[in-house]
Amino acid sequence: MLATSYRTAYNEDHEAFRDTVRRVFAEHLTPHMDEHEANGIVPRDVWKKMGDAGMLCMTVREENGGLGLDFGFNCVLTEELSYLGSSAGFTLQNDITANYFERLGTPEQRAKYLPGMVSGDIITAIAMTEPGAGSDLQGIRTTARKDGNHLVINGSKTYITNGQNADCVIVVAKTDPEKGAKGISLVLVDADTPGFERGRNLDK
């Protein structure tokens, strides 16, 4: 574990949070890491422990059920995960999906998902990559076509962090193939949506 006392990026509150993170990881994550790696999944009860300790979606504003902290707290958590060598997908929820919900979501979507994402009751994922499209995201083939007041999505995704236990997946799909990058949308797909299927758990 690196000594962090000489760095100026963090204040006392960040360092107090780091102590909490180390304590909670030591109790609930470190002893089970081999099992998580072997099974390729971090079980839901561990997510709950993280949520209970205030270690999920720390930047989410109070009115959306969060603590309204600065991004430095996310950085502390990411550093501590890295020191452990854990690939747990908490950072995806903390750093990426929470921001999509908070900045781009409707008030209804924020109310439906964010409090659960903070508490660890809701696990999220973002599905961009496809078997035939990675860095060049414009090459995705997944489409979302309007059908009345529904969207019908066709396509498959791969390498999705938290994909095996996500309750809600932000799916990147082409809604207007003529418009290039501007014709790509983010679609919220609850895992219990008819037709949604999880693939094989990849060793990644």
Ligand X SMILES: Cc1cc2nc3c(=O)[nH]c(=O)nc-3n(C[C@H](O)[C@H](O)[C@H](O)COP(=O)(O)OP(=O)(O)OC[C@H]3O[C@@H](n4cnc5c(N)ncnc54)[C@H](O)[C@@H]3O)c2cc1C
**Helix or strand or coil: residue 164?**
coil
Amino acid identity, residue 142?
Answer: T
Using the rule CB under 6 A, is 159 a contact of ligand X? yes
Ranges within 78-107 binding ligand X (CB under 6 A): 92
**Of residues 24, 58, 123, 126, which one binds ligand X by CB under 6 A?**
126
Give the number of other Cβ atoms within 10 Å of residue 81's Cβ. 18
Question: Phi and psi of 57, rounded to 5°?
Answer: 50, 50
Report yes or no: 128 and 137 within 8 Å, Cβ to Cβ.
yes
Which among 61-69, 159-167, 173-181, 185-193 is the span making contact with ligand X, rule CB under 6 A? 159-167
Using the rule CB under 6 A, is 127 a contact of ligand X? yes
Using the rule CB under 6 A, is 146 a contact of ligand X? no
> Which is nearer to ligand X, 60 or 128 (by Cβ)?
128
**Of 74, 69, 87, nearest to 29 (Cα)?**
87
Quote the DSSP letter at residue 192: T
**Of residues 78, 129, 143, 165, which one binds ligand X by CB under 6 A?**
129
**Applying CB under 6 A, which residues contact ligand X?**
92, 125-129, 134-135, 159-161, 204
